[in-house]
Structure 1
Amino acid sequence: MIGGRKTPEADGIVYDAYDGNWVDHRAPARLRPLLRLSRADRPIGTWLLLMPCFWGIALAANATGGFVWWDLWLVIGCTIGSFLMRGAGCTWNDITDRKFDAAVARTRSRPIPSGQISAKGALVWAVVQCLISLLILLTFNAAAIWLGVLSLAPVAVYPFAKRFTWWPQVFLGLAFNWGALLAWTAHTGSLGLPAVLLYVGGISWTLFYDTIYAHQDKEDDVLIGVKSTARLFAEKTPQYLLGFLVIATTLMVLAVLAALLPNGASGRQLLLCLCGPLVFAAHMGWQLWQLDIDNPDLCLKLFRRAQKAGLFAALFFAVGAIV
């Protein structure tokens, strides 16, 4: 038993997948190990990767006079690309962590340690996902293409970070928020200060939600020698998370001001966009108020709701651009 649930290795089901997810119940049996490697049965990571893309597109639209038809393709391309690159990153993570995963109760049901697929087969799958993502990226402008290529560096390094630093969540944030830089650049043609502020704010947001996630595994991490901010912060986690909340919100506000004020935005447009960071902060505050770091099931539940904070911000940015 794990957290009150029967261990699912014999059925090929990954422990922390959503109950009733489409992969386990509707996908062809031969594709299930590949889709599980890509975390298609756990879509929260795709949402968390996608939110900074939406921020970048919507805030760039605010700075340049509104949305254009090309932005529809940017939204579609970023959505598909987020699914594929999150899948490639997770596959790479499972390849490099296969021995660690086999030693942790929550992760030993993943496809490689449970024997559903070999490490070589997983590597082929990672390359396939990257190549399809590249085809989408090549439809963007040159500056965005180069940024997309550079994004592979933090993706490649992240799985190893937990072995040499207490702050692996920073490396995850570097990878997961790259979309803010890329999407802004894909809309405007060049990188700008608002995108950089969004990016750094997103990294702080990642530290917030992934520290909560890491508290699920802290006991196993101690046994196998894996480092994390959950172990580093320990009982002081709420204080650190409050700090990340303040930093993320402040930088998002500054990104809005940097994008709108130099371009003569109306008071109504500015107010709408500033509501995004405020609602973003309120949702993070609600998560922090609910948090019990010694309750793994609650930590997973709160983590799964993290994307709502990012979505609220994106929606207000989008409304501001439409107005």
Structure 2
Amino acid sequence: MSGAAARVADSTGNWVDTRAPSWLRPYLRLARFDRPIGSWLLLMPCWWSAALAAGVAHSISQLPVVVALFFVGSFVMRGAGCTWNDITDRNLDALVERTRSRPIPAGQVSVAQAAAFLVVQALIGLVVLLQFNRFAVATGIASLVIVAIYPFMKRITWWPQIVLGLAFSWGALMGFAVTLGRIDAAALWLYAGSIAWVIGYDTIYAHQDAEDDALIGIKSTARLFGARTRPALVVFYGLAVVLIGIALSLAGAHWPAWIGLAAFAVHLVWQIWRLQISDPVLCLRVFKSNRDAGLLLFAALLVDAVMRAGM
């Protein structure tokens, strides 16, 4: 199969296509290194939590190392999760236009090879996790249950995005577990706010496949909300801002954090205004913009942590 033909349909050309060794490309695509947006979105709650916990601790001494380890861990574990998802969804992926050229249904990688690659990624993730305290290690391992069941949820519920939110928001707990050795109420509210955010942005993402999903019986909030997606996003994005705001208040955050939350909220409003669910290309663009929304909030929390550490 030629390099061009081997590209996954929902990838638009990147370093994997142009620079990676040909034998490695299918594995990098399994791990979504050609489309890193999901890794960034998994990382955002981790970084939010790390910065907020550093502010609570009035110390940023651990923060650079924690931020770096979360970066590596998020990319590796998102890759492991996507590999698991592709193994379990290989037959469904073959029926959807956007996903039928993924490595397993396209015959570029066998199920056994994908499973071995999954183990390798999980071991790297474990090495990262073991750099933290015992409570954080246990907290991180607990998330694997949610990750394992997520691929099956779209077969049985209209709300698989809730389970994705539970998994992708777990980092909101991890920053407190790593920095403070406990999970405060602020972390739980941050977790809840992140879940609402994930439900919103993944609903946007799911609109790309809504027609194919209807044909093969896959459920999603995109299909559930349909033409009511915009008001649904108002609810979930609104919840995200309110719940994260409660977390900031409980954590004693100062004015930079609130400015960041306001910028985050404005970005979410822009997404709702810009979205057209009938345009898959636009849906993908709006979905990807959530990395920028998350970085706005993280930058503000980082400034807040630095200010509080100096007091």
TM over 0.5: yes
Give, as a single letter, the amino acid of the residue that structure 1 aligns with 2:8.
V
Where does residue 278 of structure 1 map in the other structure? 262
Q: In the TM superposition, what is the alpha-carbon distance from 1:9 to its structure 2 partner?
A: 8.8
Q: How far apart, in 2, do the equivalents of 1:71 and 1:292 lie?
A: 39
- 2:151 aligns with 159
Matched, 1:175 2:167: yes
Moved segments of 4+, more than 6 Å: none
* TM-score after normalising by structure 2: 0.96
Aligned equivalent of 1:322, options 299, 306, 309: 306
Distance in 1, Cα, partners of 2:120 & 2:97:
29
Q: Counterpart of 1:264? A: none
Q: Which one of 42, 49, 52 corresponds to residue 49 of structure 1?
A: 42
Give yes or no for contact 2:3–2:17 (8 Å, CA) kept in 1. no
Partner residue in 1 for 2:22: 29
- What's the C-alpha RMSD, in Å, of the aligned pairs? 1.2
Q: Note the C-alpha offset of 1:15.
A: 1.4
SS of the residue aligned with 1:215? Answer: helix
After superposition, the C-alpha distances for 1:8-50 in whole angstroms (9 at most, x for unaligned) are 996210111143x111111111110100000000010010000
1:60 aligns with 53
Whole-angstrom CA distance in 2 between matches of 1:197 and 1:18: 36
Correspondence 1:15 to 2:14:
no
Which residue of the other structure, out of 244, 252, 273, is the alignment partner of 1:289? Answer: 273
Give, in whole Å, the separation in 2 of the partners of 1:96 and 1:144.
Answer: 28
Name the % identity.
Answer: 51
Q: Aligned pair count?
A: 306
Q: Over residues 122-150 of structure 1, what are the superposed CA-to-partner deviations in whole Å (9 max), with x where a residue is unaligned? A: 01111110111101101101110001100
Q: Match of 1:272, SS?
A: helix
Structure-2 residue corresponding to 1:5: none
- Mapped to 2, the partners of 1:171 and 1:315 lie a distance apart of 27
| Separation in 1, partners of 2:3, 2:96 | 13
Return the match for 1:100 from 92, 96, 116.
92
Q: Deviations over 1:194-246 (max 9, x none)?
A: 11111110000001110000001010001100000000001111000000111
Amino acid corresponding to residue 39 of structure 2 in structure 1:
T
Distance in 1, matches of 2:42 and 2:83, equals: 15
- Looking at structure 1, the residues matched to 93 and 176 of structure 2 have their Cα atoms a distance apart, in angstroms, of 36
The aligned counterpart of 1:117 is: 109
- Supply the AA of the counterpart residue of 2:43: L
| Structure 1 residue 273, shift from structure 2 partner | 1.0
* Cα pair 1:9 1:114 within 8 Å, conserved: no
